[in-house]
């Protein structure tokens, strides 16, 4: 990329020559944009700190009196940073994003759709039914017990997926299966953590 202001080559948010703010580099993924290592294992505090530091540099308020182009670029940079932290701070989204970067989209439709096993789908149906049947004076206690059990399973599977991603596992289909199953389990957890009716199980 070349600086829109002075034409010098740039590889950062600001031109090193004239210091003009630049548009987001489309070649950067979320990890590179925040300046963190391309790994599933991330320190949440370090992620948040990296985001805050970069946001302060490009915050639109700093460019309120600048020209139209710097204002637009600051907004675009801020938006790109927000998109990056929104994905990377959520471990499941982060795992799905890493699969996406390797060419496997967990939410794909048609030929690329992840086919979950009938056994797993039946298990989810049974969990739904068990949640729907929770009533009576012990319902809250039972709901909490189920939530802890499903959460423990969710965390175990997520840890396995993360290890495989960081190890460079080439079995993308198997990892996509894990990620898709985790989506369903997260819905179960969300349902167990509310008391105002069934959630979206589609």
Which pLDDT score is estimated for 195? 52
Which pLDDT score is estimated for 201? 35
Residues 80, 83, 89, 91, Cα dihedral to 10°: -130
Which pLDDT score is estimated for 194? 63
d(CA 92, CA 154): 10
Q: What is the pLDDT along the chain (202 residues), one digit of tens a residue?
A: 899 989 999 988 999 999 999 999 999 999 999 999 999 999 999 999 999 999 999 999 999 888 999 999 999 999 999 999 999 999 999 999 999 999 999 988 887 889 899 999 999 999 989 888 888 778 888 888 999 999 999 999 999 999 999 999 999 999 999 999 999 999 999 988 765 444 443 3
Q: Walk me through the domains of the chain, giving residue ranges and CATH numbers.
A: 1-89 (1.10.287.110), 111-192 (1.20.1280)
Residue 2 dihedral angles phi and psi, to the nearest 5°: -115, 145
Which pLDDT score is estimated for 80? 98
Find residue 21's DSSP bridge partners.
Answer: 14
Which pLDDT score is estimated for 191? 86
Which pLDDT score is estimated for 198? 42
d(CA 95, CA 141): 32
């Amino acid at each position: 990329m070349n600086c829109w202001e002075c034409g010098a080559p740039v590889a950062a948010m600001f031109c090193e020559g004239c210091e003009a703010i630049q548009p987001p580099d489309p070649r950067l993924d979320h990890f590179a944009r925040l300046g963190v290592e391309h790994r599933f294992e991330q320190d949440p505090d370090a992620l948040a700190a990296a985001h805050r530091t970069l946001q302060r540099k490009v915050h639109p308020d700093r460019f309120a009196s600048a020209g139209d182009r710097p204002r637009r670029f600051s907004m675009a940079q801020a938006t790109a940073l927000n998109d990056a932290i929104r994905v990377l701070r959520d471990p499941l989204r982060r795992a799905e994003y890493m699969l996406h970067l390797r060419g496997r989209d967990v939410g794909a439709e048609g030929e690329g759709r992840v086919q979950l096993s009938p056994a797993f789908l039946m298990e989810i149906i049974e969990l739904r039914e068990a949640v729907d049947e929770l009533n009576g004076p012990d319902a809250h206690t039972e709901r909490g017990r189920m939530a802890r059990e499903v959460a423990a399973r969710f965390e175990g599977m997520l840890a396995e997926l993360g290890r495989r991603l960081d190890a460079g596992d080439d079995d993308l289909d198997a990892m996509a299966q894990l990620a898709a199953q985790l989506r369903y389990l997260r819905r179960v957890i969300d349902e167990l953590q509310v008391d105002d009716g069934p959630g979206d199980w589609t």
